[in-house]
Each structure stands twice: as C-alpha cells, then as structure tokens.
Amino acid sequence: MTTLFTQHRPVTLARRGIVAAPHYLAAEAGLEMLKAGGNAIDAAIATSAMLQVVYPFVCGLGGDTFMLIYDARSGSLHGLNGSGRSAQTATIERYHELGYTTMPQFGVHSVTVPGCASGWGAAAQRFGRLDFAQTLAPAISYAEEGFAVGPGLHNALNIVSKRPGTHRSWHTHFLPETTVPEVGSVMRFPTLARTLRTIAKEGIDTFYTGSIAEQIATFFAKEGGLITREDLASHRSDWVTPLSVPFGDLQIYEMPPNTQGVTALQMLGILDRLPLGADPLATATIHPAVEAKKLAFEDRAAYLTDPAHMHISPEALIAPDYLTQRSKLVDLTRAQVSVAPGGFMGDTVYMCTADREGNVVSLIQSNYQGFGSGVVVDDTGIVLQNRGAYFSLDPNATNALAPAKRTLHTLIPSMAFRNGRPAMVFGTMGGDGQAQTHLQVYTATARFGLNIQQAIEMPRWVHGASDDGEETLLVENRIPGETLNELRQLGHVIQEGNAWLTTMGYAQGIIFDPINGVMHGGSDPRAEGIAAGW
C-alpha cells in the first residue's frame, strides 16, 4: 500500500493497554488510569472527561454518549445508550406556538436532556474499578490550572464567536476576555472544574436530581427552555443488545437504533456481497461502496428513529436475504441518484481503550454541531448539545419530534470480533460520514490487510449534500487522479478537498493480535490525538 499513499505515523504497539483519543492530553489521562490499576472502563471515563476540557467544541457534559463494552471476565459484549430525550412538553404544536416551522439549529429549543453523565455512571457502576474522584481528577486539574489552546479549539472558538445569535452564556464561559485566545495561550474553565468536583463528591445523581440538576433546571426556566427538573430526573441510560453482520472473516458489531449503527451494518453487508477492486482506492472498490451508502441511507431516512417509535424491526434491515436483495440494486457500471444523501456536518469525539485483562471500550460522545446549541448553563461550564435539531417538525417524518423521544443519532461506536474475541475496535467523529468511514476502514483492514494506522490515514471520501444541496462525493485530493476521473465517468459528482480534511472525521482504532496479545493502536493525524500505549 505504500505505492498509494505514505504512512505518516507508526502504529503504537503495546501489551498492557492502549488509549486512542483525538487529543494527546486525553489519551494520557486514560493511560494514567490504567497505570494506577484501573481498567479500560476507568480509562475511557477519564479520557472522556479530559476531552470535555481540552476539546469542548465537540463534546461536553451537556451532550450524549454511546459505548460498546467488552467484559473479558464474562466474555460478553454490552451496548450502552447514554442519549437523552426531548422535553416532556416538546410537541410539534408547541414549537409552532414558539414560532418555528422547522427545528431550530441552535439555542435552548435545540437542546435535549444531556445523557453523558448518566452514561459514565452506568458504565462505572457495572464495570469500573476506580471511583470518580480518581477518574475525573486529571480533567479537574487541567480545567483549574489551565491547558495550552490547540489549533482545533482556537479555530472553533473563532468561528462560533462570529456566528450571529450565539448565546451570551457561551461568550461569558469561553471568551471572558472577549477575544479568542491564540494557539499556545493558556485557558482555564473553573466553573467546569467545580461541576466535575461536585460529580466526583456527590455522584452522578447530582446531575439529574441534585444540586447540578437544580442549576440546569433554573437556567432553562430563566431562558424560556422546555427542559424541567422532571425531565432531568426521569432520564436513564439503557443497556442494549448490539447488532452485527459478517464482513470478510470478521463479525462487526454496532449499536442499535436510535443510532445509525444499522446503516453502517447495511453498508458493510451490501459491500461484502459485491466484487471489489485491487486495492482500497481503486474505482472498483470506491464505486460500489458509495452505491451501498446510498441504499443504506434511503433506509435510514425511511425507518430509523427512537426504537419505541419505529415501525420495523432493525434486525430486518440487516437480515441476510434483505442485504442480498439490496446488493442486487447496485449498478457497477454507473452512479445512481439516491433519495436521502445526508450531509457533511457533525462534531463528535471518539476514543477507544483496552487493558491487559482483555477489556475493551468503544466510546463516542458529542455536542452534535460544534459547540452544540451555543448555550452554556451559567456557572457550571456545561455546554449544551443541539441534538434536538435532528428532529423534524413534519408529523409524517420518521424522526418527527415527540415528547420524551430520542432522536436519530449519528453516533456509532463499533467493535469487530474474530472467533468470538475482539479483533478490532474502531470509531470516528463526522456526522453522517461516520458510517461511511466505518465502511472504508473496515474494508481497508479486513479485505486489504492494511494496518490500523494506514487504514486511518488512508485518503477518504464522504458522500452527501454540499452547501448548495447538490449530491456530491467529497474526496481528499490524495485519492489517485485516475480513480477520480473514472468515478466521474461513472456519473459521480466529485468535489476535491484538501489532502487532510477535518470533515472526514477524527478516527481512532486498535487491532488485537490473537497470537501474542500485542495491541496495535492508530490515531488520526486529522486531529491532535495519539494512541498512547503501555
């Protein structure tokens, strides 16, 4: 594969544990937990918390989280849905009364109940070894004492500070000096540190029924939002059964709805039934993959939402006969027009952890779009997600707004098994592009033998709607020109971007050697992360 593109970073090789995250301080915080006697679950929580300090433009306590957790002792895989629901008074009629004809993208009415803290609590209670005073300590320390602003945070602050309508609470929290801090300057979040200290001292319940819940509910009441104390108190994370399909010699697992995990599995299942080219960047590999994406996204638009509101079993969408039927719709000679092209937007963080006992965590969390709603709960540092913007105010839409409903989520952690044991853990940020990156990276590793760092660094594509709404195949310009010309001849509308597009997401992954137990970690150079090994 060196003839197609240069590998820029080496694979991280370790025997005792790996933490792969999109920021180096977060990966180091997780590794610190492993060295202190914690397990992969403790490391994941510490990493997640640190990302909320150093990468607050993509995740926070006001957002959601999903996890796949492999428990080595029982040899079982568990799914944890840590996503929140809409307010109990959030009806389409109420939003019309508020003056909306479509869901607002930002502000207090785009917010759903934050699920992140509940997810931490459920995972720690069932599988963790360390208490929150220990796992949250690194994040608290950096929030109090300060950290150096990186280019990702600087750019995000610059963009949102200029966006019309950004809530005054955001400016108060992030820009107390009124100017965007330069790269390398020191930033502190004392109110977030205080909130994390309260969680460490009082436990997760304080976020939903205690003092922090009181601050959140009071803030919403003052700002005219719909979320109440009752909405917070009624929130629970749910343990769910992951879904899977075979792909090559792997069995790949994803989260069930309300995530788009089924969409990723459909794409993998369809592509596994089709002939591929000589390498992962060949036209004969990319074209059927894009066509598989189109078919899967049609089903996503038609069927996926909160499972309590679905009219079809998600298992039916990945049944072997159905996948075979869908694969026959792929035309290998031309690009077809799709019904639901999706979009390129989405800000999320993904991390994965593994320890020497064999426990593995695949964790993803998000504010949705950048700093989410652009609203921060006063005096708490809690950046509120705008995941509610994904709902529709069309009562006939599958993902129509309804009271206490979970919206469709783009967040999808994954894990692959071989012979009943974890072979690879992987995920990425990137909104609608997440499932497409899963398809590309699993294809590169399982079908073409790339190592995890090569597969993550490989030039990517994402199919969706451009800014003008045209259905477009956005590509990094490192994809061979011959391939791009052939794709155009097949009818694809190509939009060439830079060599390393953040739009393609920040991916992390670990491959496990079943022979000697060595872990192979990879981290995306599109972000500021590392795969830290021990």
At 453, the amino acid letter reads Q
CA 117 to chain CA centroid, nearest Å: 16
Bridge partners, residue 463, by sequence: 473
The encoded tokens of residue 489 equal: 């001849």
Q: Please name the residue that has the structure tokens 């060599």.
A: 499
Write the Ramachandran bin of 125: left for phi over 0, alpha for psi from -120 to 50, otherwise beta. alpha
Say how far apart CA 291 and CA 123 lie, in whole Å. 37
| Inter-axis angle of helices 137-145 and 40-54, nearest 10 | 20
Write the Ramachandran bin of 224: left for phi over 0, alpha for psi from -120 to 50, otherwise beta. left
Bridge partners, residue 353, by sequence: 19, 361
Write the Ramachandran bin of 262: left for phi over 0, alpha for psi from -120 to 50, otherwise beta. alpha
Active site residue 3: no
Identify the active-site residue in 191, 285, 348, 398.
348
The encoded tokens of residue 493 equal: 């509308």
Query: Edge to edge, what strands does the sheet with 243-247 contain?
Result: 12-14, 519-523, 507-512, 421-428, 414-418, 250-254, 243-247
Say how far apart CA 260 and CA 320 lie, in whole Å. 18
Farthest-apart Cα atoms in the chain, separation: 63
At 111, the amino acid letter reads V
Tell me how many degrees the CA angle 524-525-528 measures, rounded to the nearest 5. Answer: 90
Say how far apart CA 363 and CA 45 lie, in whole Å. 9
Q: How many CB atoms sit inside 10 A of residue 247's CB?
A: 20
Say how far apart CA 39 and CA 31 lie, in whole Å. 10
Say how far apart CA 9 and CA 523 lie, in whole Å. 9
Active site residues: 348
